[in-house]
Amino acid sequence: MDAEKVLGEIRRVIDADPTIREPTHIVVSVEKKGILGLGREIVVLKGRVHEEADRAKVARIATLHGGGREVVDSIQVLH
């Protein structure tokens, strides 16, 4: 699955999950890992959530819908 489709699917699932508070505060991107962007693609999660459970759900969604790409979770949990 190409990067654009992966990105769209992850975003769609996150936005559709009623248990994730403020999904618009989560940024999902697909980036190249490696020197000069020549390496393999990874899914990068950034932004902020209010609970650890939301961060874990988003990471799980990205893993399930990432097409086998590594997921880098940089989401901040606000307490």
**Per-residue pLDDT tens over the stretch 3-53:** 999 999 999 999 999 999 999 999 999 998 877 767 789 999 999 999 999
For residue 35, what pLDDT is reported?
75
For residue 70, what pLDDT is reported?
95
For the purposes of burial, counting CB atoms within 10 Å of the CB of 49, is it exposed (0-12), middle (13-18) or buried (19 or more)?
buried
Q: Which domain holds residue 33?
A: 3-77
| CATH number of the CATH domain containing 28 | 3.30.1340.30
**Cα 72–chain centre separation:** 8
How many domains is the chain built from? 1
Q: CB neighbours (10 Å) of residue 68?
A: 9
The SS3 of residue 30 is: strand
**Nearest 5°: phi and psi at 55?**
-60, -45
For residue 33, what pLDDT is reported?
83
Residue found under tokens 């489709």: 5
- For the entire predicted model, the pTM comes to 0.91
Residue found under tokens 């390496």: 39
